[in-house]
């Protein structure tokens, strides 16, 4: 597998409503700060975004609350990619918020969601948003919040709706109000197996399942920073790739409706992530990795 010839299209495509996206996308959260919390380099982040599009990435996940003291993910996306390619789908999320100092605010009220949507529009320089996910915290009913977003969709500010950090019951509740094109939950190989059934449910409904923290190891939500499982390392060695690439490839093998949005501010890591979309695991690989997943 040669990274220079890899295109995100090698992972195949899925429909987010009327938008066709390559199944390997890009998450913008890590663009705003380095691992130690210091501000990221603006030009390097812009370079990563432009390189992602060059490599065929046409699905970028972001949020207005992805910012650090000196960087905003939406501002970086706007600077790097505007005027936007016709085939680029930008997915954002609303619900949570941060004050200017970066402290988390309580979940927005339904009547505050329009302001959050408009802030994303302003930062991105768009007159509509392709997909907006309602990010939920806790098991509370989401009907009032999702209904408010459905009204904004009817008004033309949003094209499609999704949900994030939700239970199966909340997904069903949202579907009763408006079409749900994607479900975005924390999940990876050996992590949050409780979402396995939800992935199957999404497949049955033609809904994309878009895991975040797909590279989580024993470091969990810190990303691919923990101790890696020996079997994952062994599969990686056999294919001449990295364990992170094996994890991404395994994610994509879980069903045609499963997408991946790995994030990075490192150009080399970006190319490795996109290259993972071309990695074809064998039945034996998948059996070995399934055992890792089931026993984690």
CATH of the domain at 196: 3.20.20.100
Could you tell me if 56 and 8 are in contact, meaning their C-beta atoms sit under 8 angstroms apart? yes
Close Cβ partners of 112 (under 8 Å, ≥ 6 residues apart): none
Instruction: Please state the domain count of the chain.
Output: 1
Residue 4: pLDDT band by 50, 70, 90 thresholds?
very low
How would you classify the pairing of strands 208-209 and 89-94?
A: unpaired
Kindly state the average pLDDT of the residues 123-140: 95
Q: Enter the tokens of residue 36.
A: 């130690």
95-109, 116-130, 144-158, 179-193: least confident range: 95-109
**Residue 106 belongs to what domain range?**
15-295
191 is catalytic: no
Given a cut of 80, whether residue 259 has pLDDT beyond it is yes
- Name the active-site residue from 66, 84, 137, 191: 66
Cβ neighbours, 10 Å, residue 125:
15
Q: Enter the tokens of residue 9.
A: 């299209």
Q: Enter the tokens of residue 197.
A: 């059934």
What is each CA distance from 250 to 29, 113, 136, 186, 188, in whole angstroms? 22, 35, 27, 15, 9
Given a cut of 50, whether residue 249 has pLDDT beyond it is yes
Report yes or no on 3 lying in a domain. no
Q: Enter the tokens of residue 101.
A: 């100092």
Q: Enter the tokens of residue 49.
A: 């975004």
Report yes or no on 97 lying in a domain. yes
* 182-212 per-position pLDDT tens digit: 999 999 999 988 899 999 999 999 999 999 9
Report yes or no on 8 lying in a domain. no
Cβ neighbours, 10 Å, residue 224:
20
pTM equals 0.94
DSSP helix/strand/coil, 165? coil
Given a cut of 90, whether residue 39 has pLDDT beyond it is no
Residue 137: pLDDT band by 50, 70, 90 thresholds?
confident
Report yes or no on 207 lying in a domain. yes
Report yes or no on 5 lying in a domain. no
């Amino acid at each position: 597998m040669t990274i220079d010839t890899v295109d995100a299209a090698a992972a195949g495509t899925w429909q987010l409503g009327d938008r066709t996206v390559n199944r390997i996308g890009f998450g913008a959260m890590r663009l705003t700060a380095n691992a130690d919390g210091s501000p990221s380099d603006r030009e390097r982040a812009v370079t990563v975004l432009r390189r992602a599009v060059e490599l065929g990435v046409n699905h970028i996940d972001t949020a207005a609350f992805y910012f650090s003291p000196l960087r905003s993910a939406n501002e970086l996306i706007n600077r790097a990619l505007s005027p936007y390619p016709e085939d680029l789908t930008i997915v954002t999320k609303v619900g949570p918020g941060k004050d200017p100092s970066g402290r988390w605010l309580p979940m927005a009220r339904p009547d505050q969601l329009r302001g959050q949507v408009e802030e994303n529009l302003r930062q991105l320089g768009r007159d509509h948003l392709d997909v907006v996910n309602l990010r939920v915290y806790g098991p509370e009913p989401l009907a009032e919040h999702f209904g408010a977003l459905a009204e904004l969709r009817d008004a033309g500010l949003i094209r499609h709706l999704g949900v994030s950090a939700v239970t199966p019951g909340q997904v069903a509740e949202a579907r009763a109000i408006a079409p749900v094109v994607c479900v975005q939950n924390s999940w990876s190989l050996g992590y949050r197996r409780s979402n396995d059934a939800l992935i199957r449910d999404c497949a049955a409904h033609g809904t994309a399942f878009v895991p975040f923290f797909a590279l989580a190891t024993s470091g969990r939500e810190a990303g691919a920073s923990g101790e890696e499982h020996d079997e994952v390392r062994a599969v990686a060695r056999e294919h001449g790739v990295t364990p992170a690439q094996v994890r991404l490839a395994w994610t994509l093998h879980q069903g045609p409706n499963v997408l991946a949005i790995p994030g990075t501010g490192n150009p080399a890591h970006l190319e490795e992530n996109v290259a993972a979309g071309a990695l074809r695991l064998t039945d034996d690989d998948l059996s070995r990795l399934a055992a890792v997943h089931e026993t984690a």
